[in-house]
């Protein structure tokens, strides 16, 4: 039994003994390409699982992504935050902007959780930020099991021709004062053939640091996943 399955089975055995005031638990699991992931689980059976793909200059410890993940856990979703690159790989800036490589790593992580008890049978969603949004959309374009994608201040335009092949309902969230990124998101949304919604957070800049801005992101992301991560998962076909 691998590390992820072992941790998940321990959680399942212990959850009935957890105090009712606890709404979630976070554990560390090894990732197949190296490094560690932060697996967040709700106190009850998860409705689905959301994998986070952060962008350049960030990591699995991003406080912004952590806040979104916490809200999703409290809403009944499992979450997995991890680094798409090892520390050595991230030191090479060409890797940081290699959307194809980042997409492959995200897809491999999705396969990893689907093979284990932690994610087997759960509807799958992706949450991407900055260049991680492009990786999420590129990965979603090659899979049939992704139910929903959310981008926070992302660069979906970097997914290129993959945009037209994405089938998963996609929500793009951008700050109104993040002018250049907003324009790129509008163009990307126009290129997509799936359900695509662009939400603009008034007064927010790229990092959503303004009062109430990140809370707006949390609400939009949670609502999107609650709407689309339902029912039985779709089998992966490539």
Strand partners, 149: 126, 170
d(CA 35, CA 152): 24
- How confident is the model over 179-220, as pLDDT tens digits? 999 999 999 999 999 999 999 999 999 999 999 999 999 999
- Domain positions in the chain are 3-16+26-228
Higher pLDDT, 5 or 196: 196
27 confidence band (pLDDT: 50, 70, 90): confident
Confidence (pLDDT) at 155:
95
Q: Which residue is it, tokens 């979906």?
A: 156
Q: Kindly report the pTM of this predicted structure.
A: 0.86
* Structure confidence by residue, pLDDT tens digits, 158-167: 999 999 999 9
CB burial class (10 A; 0-12, 13-18, 19+) of residue 107? buried
Q: What are phi and psi of 143, to 5 degrees?
A: -125, 155
User: Using CA atoms, how far apart are residues 238 and 236, in angstroms rounded to an integer?
Assistant: 7
pLDDT averaged over every residue in the chain: 86
Instruction: Tell me the average pLDDT across 217-234.
Output: 85
Class of domain 3-16+26-228: alpha beta
What is residue 142's three-state secondary structure?
Answer: coil
């Amino acid at each position: 039994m691998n590390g992820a399955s072992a941790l998940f089975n321990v959680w399942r055995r212990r959850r009935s003994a957890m105090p009712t005031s606890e709404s979630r638990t976070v554990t560390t699991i090894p990732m197949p390409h190296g490094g560690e992931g932060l697996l967040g689980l709700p106190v009850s059976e998860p409705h689905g699982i959301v994998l986070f793909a952060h962008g350049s200059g960030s990591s699995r410890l991003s406080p912004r992504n952590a806040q979104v993940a916490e809200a999703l856990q409290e809403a009944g979703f499992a979450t997995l935050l991890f680094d798409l690159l090892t520390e050595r790989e991230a030191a090479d800036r060409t890797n940081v902007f290699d959307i194809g490589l980042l997409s492959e790593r995200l897809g491999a992580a999705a396969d990893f959780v689907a093979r284990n008890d932690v994610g087997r049978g759960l509807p799958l969603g992706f949450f991407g930020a900055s260049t991680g949004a492009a990786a999420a959309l590129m990965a979603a374009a090659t899979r049939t099991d992704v139910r929903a994608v959310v981008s926070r201040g992302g660069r979906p335009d970097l997914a290129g021709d993959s945009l037209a092949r994405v089938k998963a309902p996609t929500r793009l969230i951008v700050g109104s004062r993040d002018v250049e990124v907003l324009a790129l998101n509008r163009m990307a949304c126009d290129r997509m053939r799936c359900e695509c919604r662009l939400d603009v957070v008034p007064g927010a800049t790229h990092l959503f640091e303004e009062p109430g801005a990140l809370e707006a992101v949390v609400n939009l992301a949670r609502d999107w996943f609650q709407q689309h991560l339902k029912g039985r998962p779709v089998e992966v076909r490539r």
